[in-house]
Structure 1
Protein backbone atom coordinates (compact mmCIF):
# COMPACT_ATOMS: atom_id res chain seq x y z
CA UNK A 1 0.00 0.00 0.00
CA UNK A 2 1.12 3.49 -0.78
CA UNK A 3 2.20 4.58 2.72
CA UNK A 4 4.46 1.57 2.99
CA UNK A 5 6.77 2.81 0.25
CA UNK A 6 8.32 5.39 2.56
CA UNK A 7 8.58 3.29 5.71
CA UNK A 8 11.32 1.19 7.22
CA UNK A 9 11.01 -2.46 6.23
CA UNK A 10 10.33 -3.57 9.81
CA UNK A 11 7.65 -0.92 10.33
CA UNK A 12 6.10 -1.88 6.99
CA UNK A 13 5.88 -5.52 8.08
CA UNK A 14 4.40 -4.59 11.46
CA UNK A 15 1.67 -2.46 9.91
CA UNK A 16 0.82 -5.12 7.35
CA UNK A 17 0.50 -7.70 10.12
CA UNK A 18 -1.88 -5.39 11.99
CA UNK A 19 -3.86 -4.79 8.79
CA UNK A 20 -4.24 -8.48 8.07
CA UNK A 21 -5.10 -9.37 11.66
CA UNK A 22 -7.76 -6.67 11.80
CA UNK A 23 -9.33 -7.75 8.49
CA UNK A 24 -9.34 -11.39 9.59
CA UNK A 25 -11.05 -10.48 12.88
CA UNK A 26 -13.60 -8.36 11.01
CA UNK A 27 -14.63 -11.44 9.07
CA UNK A 28 -15.41 -13.22 12.32
CA UNK A 29 -17.07 -10.59 14.50
CA UNK A 30 -18.66 -7.16 14.58
CA UNK A 31 -16.34 -4.17 14.61
CA UNK A 32 -17.64 -3.14 18.03
CA UNK A 33 -16.65 -6.53 19.44
CA UNK A 34 -13.05 -6.40 18.27
CA UNK A 35 -10.58 -5.33 20.96
CA UNK A 36 -6.99 -4.18 20.75
CA UNK A 37 -6.12 -7.33 22.67
CA UNK A 38 -7.71 -9.38 19.86
CA UNK A 39 -5.68 -7.52 17.25
CA UNK A 40 -2.28 -7.81 18.95
CA UNK A 41 -2.90 -11.43 19.86
CA UNK A 42 -3.65 -12.45 16.28
CA UNK A 43 -0.93 -10.24 14.82
CA UNK A 44 1.64 -11.55 17.31
CA UNK A 45 2.75 -8.21 18.76
CA UNK A 46 2.74 -6.51 22.14
CA UNK A 47 0.32 -3.82 23.21
CA UNK A 48 3.24 -1.40 23.17
CA UNK A 49 3.90 -2.17 19.50
CA UNK A 50 0.29 -1.35 18.66
CA UNK A 51 0.40 1.95 20.54
CA UNK A 52 3.62 2.91 18.77
CA UNK A 53 1.52 3.25 15.62
CA UNK A 54 -2.10 3.78 16.69
CA UNK A 55 -4.00 5.33 19.56
CA UNK A 56 -7.06 3.13 19.05
CA UNK A 57 -8.54 0.64 16.61
CA UNK A 58 -10.36 3.46 14.79
CA UNK A 59 -6.94 4.79 13.73
CA UNK A 60 -6.03 1.40 12.29
CA UNK A 61 -9.30 1.18 10.39
CA UNK A 62 -8.97 4.71 9.01
CA UNK A 63 -5.39 4.06 7.89
CA UNK A 64 -6.45 0.92 6.03
CA UNK A 65 -9.24 2.80 4.26
CA UNK A 66 -7.00 5.76 3.41
CA UNK A 67 -4.37 3.39 2.02
CA UNK A 68 -6.92 1.63 -0.15
CA UNK A 69 -8.26 4.94 -1.43
CA UNK A 70 -4.76 6.17 -2.32
CA UNK A 71 -3.98 2.98 -4.20
CA UNK A 72 -7.37 2.99 -5.95
CA UNK A 73 -6.84 6.60 -7.06
CA UNK A 74 -3.44 5.80 -8.48
CA UNK A 75 -4.78 2.76 -10.32
CA UNK A 76 -7.77 4.72 -11.65
CA UNK A 77 -5.50 7.42 -13.07
CA UNK A 78 -2.86 5.07 -14.49
CA UNK A 79 -4.34 4.79 -18.04
CA UNK A 80 -4.37 8.54 -18.68
CA UNK A 81 -1.68 10.00 -16.45
CA UNK A 82 0.45 10.93 -19.50
CA UNK A 83 -2.45 11.84 -21.80
CA UNK A 84 -4.11 15.15 -22.62
CA UNK A 85 -7.41 13.58 -23.66
CA UNK A 86 -9.20 10.27 -24.11
CA UNK A 87 -11.07 9.24 -27.22
CA UNK A 88 -13.94 7.25 -25.70
CA UNK A 89 -14.56 5.34 -28.91
CA UNK A 90 -11.01 3.96 -28.84
CA UNK A 91 -11.26 2.53 -25.32
CA UNK A 92 -10.42 -1.16 -25.10
CA UNK A 93 -8.69 -2.36 -21.95
CA UNK A 94 -8.00 0.78 -19.89
CA UNK A 95 -10.03 -0.43 -16.90
CA UNK A 96 -7.52 -3.22 -16.30
CA UNK A 97 -5.50 -1.07 -13.87
CA UNK A 98 -8.32 -0.33 -11.45
CA UNK A 99 -9.65 -3.87 -11.75
CA UNK A 100 -6.27 -5.35 -10.88
CA UNK A 101 -6.20 -3.15 -7.80
CA UNK A 102 -9.59 -4.41 -6.62
CA UNK A 103 -8.58 -8.01 -7.31
CA UNK A 104 -5.28 -7.63 -5.44
CA UNK A 105 -7.01 -6.19 -2.38
CA UNK A 106 -10.21 -8.18 -2.83
CA UNK A 107 -10.01 -9.65 0.68
CA UNK A 108 -9.90 -6.15 2.18
CA UNK A 109 -12.71 -4.78 0.04
CA UNK A 110 -15.03 -7.74 0.55
CA UNK A 111 -14.57 -7.53 4.31
CA UNK A 112 -15.07 -3.76 4.52
CA UNK A 113 -18.17 -4.08 2.35
CA UNK A 114 -19.54 -6.78 4.66
CA UNK A 115 -22.06 -6.60 7.47
CA UNK A 116 -19.64 -6.53 10.41
CA UNK A 117 -18.83 -2.85 10.10
CA UNK A 118 -21.24 0.06 10.37
CA UNK A 119 -19.45 2.65 8.24
CA UNK A 120 -20.79 3.28 4.75
CA UNK A 121 -17.65 2.07 3.04
CA UNK A 122 -19.41 1.57 -0.28
CA UNK A 123 -20.65 5.15 -0.21
CA UNK A 124 -17.23 6.51 0.74
CA UNK A 125 -15.52 4.58 -2.04
CA UNK A 126 -18.12 5.60 -4.62
CA UNK A 127 -17.72 9.25 -3.67
CA UNK A 128 -13.94 8.91 -3.96
CA UNK A 129 -14.16 7.57 -7.52
CA UNK A 130 -16.67 10.22 -8.58
CA UNK A 131 -14.54 12.99 -7.06
CA UNK A 132 -11.66 11.89 -9.30
CA UNK A 133 -13.91 11.93 -12.35
CA UNK A 134 -15.02 15.47 -11.54
CA UNK A 135 -11.47 16.63 -10.84
CA UNK A 136 -9.77 15.03 -13.84
CA UNK A 137 -12.23 14.95 -16.74
CA UNK A 138 -13.85 17.55 -18.94
CA UNK A 139 -16.34 15.89 -21.30
CA UNK A 140 -16.75 17.33 -24.79
CA UNK A 141 -20.39 17.56 -25.81
CA UNK A 142 -20.51 16.60 -29.49
CA UNK A 143 -24.29 16.65 -29.84
CA UNK A 144 -25.71 19.95 -31.01
CA UNK A 145 -28.19 21.73 -28.80
CA UNK A 146 -27.96 19.34 -25.85
CA UNK A 147 -25.95 21.56 -23.49
CA UNK A 148 -25.18 18.65 -21.20
CA UNK A 149 -24.29 19.26 -17.56
CA UNK A 150 -20.71 17.95 -17.56
CA UNK A 151 -20.51 17.44 -13.80
CA UNK A 152 -23.71 15.41 -13.90
CA UNK A 153 -22.37 13.38 -16.82
CA UNK A 154 -19.14 12.63 -14.94
CA UNK A 155 -21.14 11.58 -11.88
CA UNK A 156 -23.21 9.29 -14.09
CA UNK A 157 -20.06 7.59 -15.38
CA UNK A 158 -18.32 7.55 -12.00
CA UNK A 159 -21.15 6.01 -10.02
CA UNK A 160 -21.92 3.60 -12.84
CA UNK A 161 -18.32 2.43 -13.05
CA UNK A 162 -17.78 1.89 -9.34
CA UNK A 163 -21.22 0.28 -9.02
CA UNK A 164 -20.51 -2.50 -11.50
CA UNK A 165 -16.98 -2.97 -10.15
CA UNK A 166 -18.20 -3.39 -6.58
CA UNK A 167 -20.84 -5.86 -7.73
CA UNK A 168 -17.98 -7.81 -9.33
CA UNK A 169 -15.96 -7.67 -6.09
CA UNK A 170 -18.87 -8.70 -3.85
CA UNK A 171 -19.71 -11.60 -6.18
CA UNK A 172 -16.10 -12.79 -5.67
CA UNK A 173 -14.84 -11.94 -9.15
CA UNK A 174 -17.08 -14.15 -11.31
CA UNK A 175 -15.30 -13.13 -14.53
CA UNK A 176 -11.60 -12.84 -15.26
CA UNK A 177 -10.06 -9.40 -14.81
CA UNK A 178 -9.03 -9.12 -18.46
CA UNK A 179 -12.45 -10.14 -19.76
CA UNK A 180 -14.29 -7.80 -17.41
CA UNK A 181 -12.01 -4.92 -18.38
CA UNK A 182 -12.78 -5.39 -22.07
CA UNK A 183 -16.51 -5.50 -21.34
CA UNK A 184 -16.26 -2.19 -19.48
CA UNK A 185 -14.43 -0.75 -22.48
CA UNK A 186 -17.31 -1.77 -24.74
CA UNK A 187 -19.82 -0.13 -22.41
CA UNK A 188 -17.91 3.17 -22.39
CA UNK A 189 -17.89 3.18 -26.19
CA UNK A 190 -21.60 3.93 -26.11
CA UNK A 191 -20.46 7.45 -25.28
CA UNK A 192 -19.25 9.64 -28.09
CA UNK A 193 -16.57 12.27 -28.41
CA UNK A 194 -13.44 13.07 -26.47
CA UNK A 195 -12.74 13.52 -22.78
CA UNK A 196 -10.11 16.14 -21.98
CA UNK A 197 -7.84 15.57 -19.00
CA UNK A 198 -7.72 18.62 -16.75
CA UNK A 199 -5.47 19.50 -13.80
CA UNK A 200 -2.72 17.23 -15.13
CA UNK A 201 -0.24 18.39 -12.49
CA UNK A 202 -2.40 16.83 -9.79
CA UNK A 203 -2.22 13.35 -11.28
CA UNK A 204 1.37 12.66 -10.27
Structure 2
Protein backbone atom coordinates (compact mmCIF):
# COMPACT_ATOMS: atom_id res chain seq x y z
CA UNK A 1 0.00 0.00 0.00
CA UNK A 2 2.83 2.37 0.90
CA UNK A 3 4.46 1.83 -2.53
CA UNK A 4 1.16 2.65 -4.26
CA UNK A 5 0.91 5.90 -2.30
CA UNK A 6 4.51 6.78 -3.24
CA UNK A 7 3.85 5.95 -6.90
CA UNK A 8 0.72 8.09 -6.87
CA UNK A 9 2.58 10.98 -5.25
CA UNK A 10 5.32 10.69 -7.85
CA UNK A 11 2.77 10.83 -10.68
CA UNK A 12 0.91 13.76 -9.10
CA UNK A 13 4.16 15.70 -8.71
CA UNK A 14 5.17 14.81 -12.28
CA UNK A 15 1.86 16.09 -13.62
CA UNK A 16 2.11 19.28 -11.53
CA UNK A 17 5.63 19.97 -12.85
CA UNK A 18 4.63 19.46 -16.49
CA UNK A 19 1.44 21.49 -16.12
CA UNK A 20 3.37 24.32 -14.46
CA UNK A 21 5.89 24.26 -17.29
CA UNK A 22 3.12 24.45 -19.93
CA UNK A 23 1.51 27.41 -18.14
CA UNK A 24 4.79 29.28 -17.75
CA UNK A 25 5.64 28.63 -21.42
CA UNK A 26 2.52 30.60 -22.36
CA UNK A 27 4.04 33.71 -20.77
CA UNK A 28 7.81 33.24 -20.98
CA UNK A 29 10.17 32.13 -23.71
CA UNK A 30 11.57 28.65 -23.23
CA UNK A 31 15.10 29.99 -22.69
CA UNK A 32 13.96 32.14 -19.75
CA UNK A 33 12.07 29.49 -17.76
CA UNK A 34 13.85 28.58 -14.52
CA UNK A 35 13.54 25.82 -11.95
CA UNK A 36 12.36 28.48 -9.48
CA UNK A 37 9.54 29.43 -11.85
CA UNK A 38 8.42 25.81 -12.14
CA UNK A 39 8.54 24.91 -8.44
CA UNK A 40 6.70 28.10 -7.49
CA UNK A 41 3.96 27.48 -10.08
CA UNK A 42 3.72 23.73 -9.29
CA UNK A 43 3.64 24.32 -5.53
CA UNK A 44 6.48 21.91 -4.82
CA UNK A 45 9.88 22.12 -3.19
CA UNK A 46 13.14 22.16 -5.14
CA UNK A 47 14.12 18.64 -4.04
CA UNK A 48 10.86 17.26 -5.48
CA UNK A 49 11.69 18.85 -8.83
CA UNK A 50 15.17 17.32 -8.78
CA UNK A 51 13.73 13.90 -7.89
CA UNK A 52 12.09 14.07 -11.32
CA UNK A 53 14.49 16.10 -13.49
CA UNK A 54 18.12 17.16 -13.55
CA UNK A 55 17.16 20.64 -14.67
CA UNK A 56 15.11 22.61 -17.19
CA UNK A 57 16.77 21.03 -20.26
CA UNK A 58 15.82 17.58 -18.94
CA UNK A 59 12.23 18.75 -18.29
CA UNK A 60 12.07 20.29 -21.75
CA UNK A 61 13.18 16.97 -23.30
CA UNK A 62 10.46 15.16 -21.34
CA UNK A 63 7.78 17.67 -22.38
CA UNK A 64 8.91 17.37 -26.03
CA UNK A 65 8.66 13.57 -25.77
CA UNK A 66 5.20 13.89 -24.24
CA UNK A 67 4.14 16.19 -27.09
CA UNK A 68 5.44 13.74 -29.69
CA UNK A 69 3.58 10.93 -27.91
CA UNK A 70 0.35 12.97 -28.11
CA UNK A 71 0.90 13.53 -31.83
CA UNK A 72 1.41 9.82 -32.46
CA UNK A 73 -1.59 8.89 -30.34
CA UNK A 74 -3.61 11.23 -32.52
CA UNK A 75 -2.17 9.66 -35.68
CA UNK A 76 -3.07 6.17 -34.48
CA UNK A 77 -6.75 7.14 -34.19
CA UNK A 78 -7.04 7.72 -37.93
CA UNK A 79 -6.55 4.93 -40.43
CA UNK A 80 -7.05 5.22 -44.13
CA UNK A 81 -8.77 2.08 -45.33
CA UNK A 82 -9.75 0.46 -48.55
CA UNK A 83 -13.10 2.09 -49.05
CA UNK A 84 -14.58 4.81 -51.19
CA UNK A 85 -12.35 7.81 -51.93
CA UNK A 86 -14.96 10.06 -50.28
CA UNK A 87 -14.73 8.11 -47.01
CA UNK A 88 -10.95 8.42 -47.00
CA UNK A 89 -11.14 12.13 -47.85
CA UNK A 90 -13.27 12.72 -44.76
CA UNK A 91 -10.92 10.67 -42.54
CA UNK A 92 -7.83 12.47 -43.87
CA UNK A 93 -9.36 15.93 -43.53
CA UNK A 94 -10.53 15.17 -39.98
CA UNK A 95 -7.05 14.01 -39.03
CA UNK A 96 -5.42 17.18 -40.32
CA UNK A 97 -8.09 19.37 -38.70
CA UNK A 98 -7.39 17.70 -35.35
CA UNK A 99 -3.64 18.03 -35.85
CA UNK A 100 -3.85 21.73 -36.76
CA UNK A 101 -6.19 22.44 -33.83
CA UNK A 102 -3.83 20.61 -31.46
CA UNK A 103 -0.88 22.69 -32.63
CA UNK A 104 -2.81 25.95 -32.51
CA UNK A 105 -4.16 25.24 -29.01
CA UNK A 106 -0.79 24.09 -27.66
CA UNK A 107 1.21 27.28 -26.99
CA UNK A 108 4.22 25.24 -25.89
CA UNK A 109 4.38 23.42 -29.22
CA UNK A 110 3.88 26.59 -31.22
CA UNK A 111 6.62 28.35 -29.24
CA UNK A 112 8.90 25.34 -29.55
CA UNK A 113 8.51 25.20 -33.32
CA UNK A 114 9.54 28.84 -33.57
CA UNK A 115 12.44 28.64 -31.10
CA UNK A 116 16.09 27.72 -31.62
CA UNK A 117 15.19 24.29 -30.18
CA UNK A 118 12.68 23.83 -32.99
CA UNK A 119 15.26 22.20 -35.23
CA UNK A 120 16.18 19.64 -32.55
CA UNK A 121 12.47 18.97 -31.97
CA UNK A 122 11.95 18.48 -35.71
CA UNK A 123 14.88 16.07 -35.81
CA UNK A 124 13.47 14.09 -32.88
CA UNK A 125 10.00 14.13 -34.45
CA UNK A 126 11.35 13.00 -37.82
CA UNK A 127 13.17 10.11 -36.16
CA UNK A 128 9.90 9.03 -34.55
CA UNK A 129 8.05 9.54 -37.83
CA UNK A 130 10.65 7.39 -39.56
CA UNK A 131 9.81 4.53 -37.19
CA UNK A 132 6.11 5.17 -37.75
CA UNK A 133 6.62 5.16 -41.53
CA UNK A 134 8.61 1.94 -41.36
CA UNK A 135 5.86 0.27 -39.33
CA UNK A 136 3.12 1.65 -41.60
CA UNK A 137 4.96 0.44 -44.69
CA UNK A 138 5.26 -3.01 -43.16
CA UNK A 139 1.55 -3.08 -42.37
CA UNK A 140 0.28 -1.90 -45.72
CA UNK A 141 -1.15 -4.55 -47.96
CA UNK A 142 -0.24 -2.62 -51.11
CA UNK A 143 0.36 -4.84 -54.08
CA UNK A 144 0.90 -2.09 -56.66
CA UNK A 145 3.92 -0.60 -54.87
CA UNK A 146 6.89 -1.97 -52.96
CA UNK A 147 7.31 -1.36 -49.24
CA UNK A 148 10.18 0.96 -50.05
CA UNK A 149 7.99 3.04 -52.38
CA UNK A 150 5.27 3.23 -49.74
CA UNK A 151 7.82 4.20 -47.12
CA UNK A 152 9.22 7.00 -49.29
CA UNK A 153 5.74 8.27 -50.15
CA UNK A 154 4.75 8.45 -46.47
CA UNK A 155 8.08 10.07 -45.52
CA UNK A 156 7.57 12.65 -48.29
CA UNK A 157 4.10 13.43 -47.00
CA UNK A 158 5.26 13.75 -43.39
CA UNK A 159 8.22 15.96 -44.29
CA UNK A 160 5.99 18.25 -46.35
CA UNK A 161 3.40 18.41 -43.60
CA UNK A 162 6.04 19.32 -41.02
CA UNK A 163 7.33 22.07 -43.31
CA UNK A 164 3.85 23.53 -43.76
CA UNK A 165 3.12 23.37 -40.03
CA UNK A 166 6.47 24.97 -39.20
CA UNK A 167 5.76 27.85 -41.61
CA UNK A 168 2.22 28.22 -40.24
CA UNK A 169 3.43 28.51 -36.63
CA UNK A 170 6.25 30.91 -37.58
CA UNK A 171 3.66 33.15 -39.27
CA UNK A 172 1.62 33.11 -36.03
CA UNK A 173 -1.29 31.13 -37.50
CA UNK A 174 -2.18 33.90 -39.96
CA UNK A 175 -3.91 31.37 -42.24
CA UNK A 176 -7.14 29.83 -40.84
CA UNK A 177 -6.85 26.33 -39.36
CA UNK A 178 -9.34 24.80 -41.80
CA UNK A 179 -7.44 26.23 -44.78
CA UNK A 180 -4.16 24.67 -43.62
CA UNK A 181 -5.89 21.37 -42.80
CA UNK A 182 -7.46 21.25 -46.27
CA UNK A 183 -4.12 21.99 -47.92
CA UNK A 184 -2.47 19.18 -45.95
CA UNK A 185 -5.31 16.75 -46.64
CA UNK A 186 -5.34 17.52 -50.38
CA UNK A 187 -1.58 17.12 -50.57
CA UNK A 188 -1.69 13.77 -48.76
CA UNK A 189 -4.58 12.53 -50.88
CA UNK A 190 -2.84 13.39 -54.14
CA UNK A 191 0.76 12.46 -53.36
CA UNK A 192 0.69 9.66 -50.77
CA UNK A 193 -2.70 7.99 -50.77
CA UNK A 194 -2.20 6.44 -54.24
CA UNK A 195 0.76 4.50 -52.80
CA UNK A 196 -1.43 3.00 -50.08
CA UNK A 197 -3.78 1.20 -52.52
Same fold (TM over 0.5): yes
Is residue 13 from structure 1 mapped to residue 16 from structure 2 by the alignment? yes
TM-score by length of 1: 0.68
Deviation at 1:54, TM superposition (A): 1.9
Corresponding residue for residue 114 of structure 2: 114
Contact persistence 2:100–2:181 (CA under 8 A): yes
In structure 2, how many angstroms separate the alpha carbons of the residues matched to 1:16 and 1:187? 35
Corresponding residue for residue 185 of structure 2: 185
Query: How many residues are aligned here?
Result: 182
Is residue 91 from structure 1 mapped to residue 94 from structure 2 by the alignment? no
Q: Deviations over 1:72-114 (max 9, x none)?
A: 001122221xx65476674241322222221221x11232233
Q: Tell me which moved more, 120-129 or 57-66.
A: 120-129
Deviation at 1:46, TM superposition (A): 2.6
Deviation at 1:135, TM superposition (A): 1.6
Contact persistence 2:18–2:63 (CA under 8 A): no
Pick the structure with more helix per residue: 2
TM-score by length of 2: 0.70
In structure 1, how many angstroms separate the alpha carbons of the residues matched to 2:83 and 2:170? 29
In structure 1, how many angstroms separate the alpha carbons of the residues matched to 2:31 and 2:60? 16
Closer/same/farther in 2, CA of residues 171 and 85 from structure 1, 3 Å limit? farther
Stretches of structure 1 that go unaligned for 5 or more consecutive residues are 1-5, 197-204
Measured on the aligned residues, the alpha-carbon RMSD in Å equals 3.5
Q: Deviations over 1:40-80 (max 9, x none)?
A: 35655431231232232232112101110110001122221
